[in-house]
Amino acid sequence: MTLPADYDHDSAESGVKMSDPLRVLVLADSDDDTQALLRELKRGGYSPFCQRVEKVAAMREALDKQTWDIVISDYRTLHLSAHQALVLLQETGIDIPFIIVSGAVGEEAAAAAIKAGANDYVMKDNLSRLISSVKRELRESGLRREHRLMEGKIRRAAEEWRTTIDTITDWVSIQDSNFRIVRLNKAYADIFKKHPRELVGKTCYELVHGTSEPVPHCPHRKTMQSKLPSIAEYFEPHLGVYLETATSPVINEHGEVVASVHITRDITERKRMEEQLLIADRLASLGELSAGIAHEVNNPLTSVLGFTQLLLEEDLPDSIRGNVEIVLREAERASGIVKNLLTFSQRHDQVKQTVNINNIIESVLELRAYQQRLNNIKVDLRLADLPDVVADYFQLQQVFLNIIINAEYFMAEANQGGTLSITTEKADDIVRVTFADDGPGIAKETLGRLFDPFFTTKGVGKGTGLGLSICHGIVIGHGGRIYAESIPGQGAVFTVDLPLHHTGEGTVLGGSSRV
């Protein structure tokens, strides 16, 4: 039955819109009882829209077809008890206030009904209490509904935030004043092969730096202290990468910094390029200097060679002639070194042509002869008769020079000298060059990082970790492969395989850069 609305009730108090009637589902088997409930609701200022049901099927149908503001039920009808109705309502998951109105039922039954889920129990002989009960339950129902709406908004906002930051490939996180992670994106968690929720509460220095306290120059600490954005760049050995971290303050309504937003990105590739450019610039400067020195040395050498040859044309005693011939040979050798130095220091376009590997090795050894004598390094050279290969002469010169310098350094550091064995051979369709030293060798755990950019076992300022990385790139570009083998304490062997016919890209095997 429907009664017209002739008033506005307080929506904040009831949770029902002021312009709508109160939708009441009545569980009763008596029209008189229903009419009594409606009169009481109308007397309390409500304009009810009512439907009476007596059976489970009718109640289920009413719940499916209509949205109800409240359910008022007799304690027991002929076909449906309040307890059955409560069970049905709970099964649907619909949150509707449920008030039992009954006659001669004791307090124990009322308490059992409340325990089963009823919101209130009103006796028929005290029906005037119904209005206050309805108002209270509607108000609380409205508050619950608002709470659910707010929870939904918060949940959607959190989902939108998560979806947004998870599309960012940089590591994004929010960290509180105690350096603990409050939120983070998927990219951050993926670094550690964890789900984001597993890392919440962890400290950034524990995860990223592997330390028990914040690292020096921590941008988060600076932001917390200054209330200003901060940025830091550092190499992280714990992860083996270069990182750039930018932090921005999160400020509360009192002007206090309570957290900071972190954006961290892996800049290893950028740093590698910067280092390569720096090295290239230094090498260019060194080349220009070497070329200048070589030209300057070449001038007096030309005079020495000229006048020595003139002397030999004179009628000299045999004892003096022998000495002059020694001077001539040494001057010619010095002139050859100067020519090699000039050749090595000049800029060259990358040109692949037929070259002889043995000739490249011999030219590099001429450049290193003086340093090897100084460091007590002996060279055992075993060069096979090799076919020419198609390669860039100067790039292979750089590869061999780098490997030889590495071997010299570690033999001199460990033993104040040593023997470097260089062997060439033809094996099927490749030319193989082997450099074996009797230095300290390479640790097993280090072999796994061969040719990693920036990795070095040399002391600070003695290596960039780029030499063998560049060598690797050159050899791969020639369709070959470069690898190392070592037993700690028994030296190291570096092998370069180059194809006689370049058919594609090469491969790289394990080992470690010692540059």
**DSSP secondary structure code for residue 201 in this structure:** T
pLDDT given for residue 362 in this prediction = 92
Higher pLDDT, 442 or 388: 388
Least confident of 27-36, 217-226, 274-283, 447-456: 447-456
**What residue segments make up the domains of the chain, in order of their start?**
11-148, 168-266, 268-347, 350-515
Burial of 337 (0-12, 13-18, 19+ CB in 10 A): middle
**Residue 3 pLDDT grade (very low, low, confident, very high; cuts 50, 70, 90):** very low
pLDDT in tens, 164-193: 778 888 888 898 989 999 888 888 888 888
Dmax over CA atoms of the chain, in Å, equals 152
pLDDT given for residue 381 in this prediction = 92
CATH architecture for residues 168-266: 2-Layer Sandwich (3.30)
pLDDT given for residue 5 in this prediction = 37
**Percentage of residues in the chain having pLDDT higher than 90:** 15
Q: How many CB atoms lie within 10 A of CB 320?
A: 11
pLDDT in tens, 124-150: 888 888 888 888 888 888 878 887 788
**Residue 495 pLDDT grade (very low, low, confident, very high; cuts 50, 70, 90):** very high
Query: What average pLDDT score do residues 151-176 get?
Result: 81
pLDDT given for residue 342 in this prediction = 61
**Residue 380 pLDDT grade (very low, low, confident, very high; cuts 50, 70, 90):** very high
**Residue 93 pLDDT grade (very low, low, confident, very high; cuts 50, 70, 90):** confident
pLDDT in tens, 464-478: 444 677 788 788 888
Residue 267 CA to residue 242 CA, distance in Å, equals: 5
Q: Which CATH number fits domain 350-515: 3.40.50.410, 3.10.20.440, 1.20.1330.10, 3.30.565.10?
A: 3.30.565.10
Burial of 58 (0-12, 13-18, 19+ CB in 10 A): middle
- pTM of the complete model: 0.39
pLDDT given for residue 497 in this prediction = 93
**pLDDT above 60 for 500:** yes
Residue 462 CA to residue 447 CA, distance in Å, equals: 20
Angle, in degrees to the nearest 10, between helices 467-477 and 393-415: 150
Residue 398 CA to residue 452 CA, distance in Å, equals: 18
pLDDT given for residue 98 in this prediction = 92
Identify the helix (H) or strand (E) that includes residue 308. helix 268-312
pLDDT in tens, 99-119: 988 876 667 777 777 888 888
- For residue 91, the one-letter residue type is E
Tokens of 117: 């889920």
Q: How many CB atoms lie within 10 A of CB 317?
A: 8
Query: What average pLDDT score do residues 238-254 get?
Result: 86
b/e 146-174 (16+ beta carbons within 10 angstroms → b): eeeeeeeeeeeeeeeeeeebbeeebbbbb
- For residue 154, the one-letter residue type is I
**pLDDT above 80 for 341:** no
Tell me which residue has tokens 């070589």: 294
**DSSP secondary structure code for residue 209 in this structure:** I
pLDDT in tens, 409-463: 888 888 888 999 999 999 888 999 999 999 888 877 666 666 655 445 544 444 4
State how far Cα 139 lies from the chain centre: 50
**pLDDT above 60 for 20:** yes
Query: What average pLDDT score do residues 272-285 get?
Result: 66
Residue 209 CA to residue 264 CA, distance in Å, equals: 13
Judge contact between 404 and 377, C-beta under 8 A.
Answer: no
R_g of the chain computed on alpha carbons = 44
pLDDT given for residue 453 in this prediction = 52
**DSSP secondary structure code for residue 504 in this structure:** S
Q: Which CATH number fits domain 268-347: 2.30.30.90, 3.90.1150.10, 3.90.230.10, 1.10.287.130?
A: 1.10.287.130
Residue 146 CA to residue 148 CA, distance in Å, equals: 5
E-strand ranges in 348-500 read 353-355, 377-382, 389-391, 418-427, 430-437, 481-486, 492-499
User: Rounded to 5 degrees, what are φ and ψ at 27?
Assistant: -105, 100
What are the CB-based long-range contacts (under 8 Å, 24+) for 423-426? 423/382, 423/383, 423/384, 424/357, 424/358, 424/361, 424/382, 424/383, 424/384, 424/386, 425/384, 425/386, 426/384, 426/386, 426/387, 426/500
Query: What average pLDDT score do residues 405-410 get?
Result: 87
**Residue 160 pLDDT grade (very low, low, confident, very high; cuts 50, 70, 90):** confident
pLDDT given for residue 161 in this prediction = 73
**pLDDT above 70 for 515:** no
- Through-space distance between the first and last CA atoms of the chain, rounded to whole angstroms: 92
Nearest to residue 451, comparing CAs of 397, 391, 406?
406
Q: What region, left, alpha or beta, does residue 295 occupy, with left being phi > 0 and alpha being psi -120 to 50 degrees?
A: alpha
Query: What average pLDDT score do residues 294-309 get?
Result: 78
Query: What's the order of all strands across the beta sheet hosting 171-176?
Result: 181-184, 171-176, 257-266, 241-251, 230-236
**pLDDT above 70 for 257:** yes
Identify the helix (H) or strand (E) that includes residue 65. helix 56-65
pLDDT given for residue 382 in this prediction = 93
Residue 451 CA to residue 513 CA, distance in Å, equals: 5
What ranges in 167-213 are assigned the alpha helix state H? 186-191, 196-199, 204
Residue 250 CA to residue 224 CA, distance in Å, equals: 9
**Percentage of residues in the chain having pLDDT higher than 70:** 82
Arithmetic mean of pLDDT over the chain: 80
CATH superfamily, region 11-148:
Response regulator (3.40.50.2300)
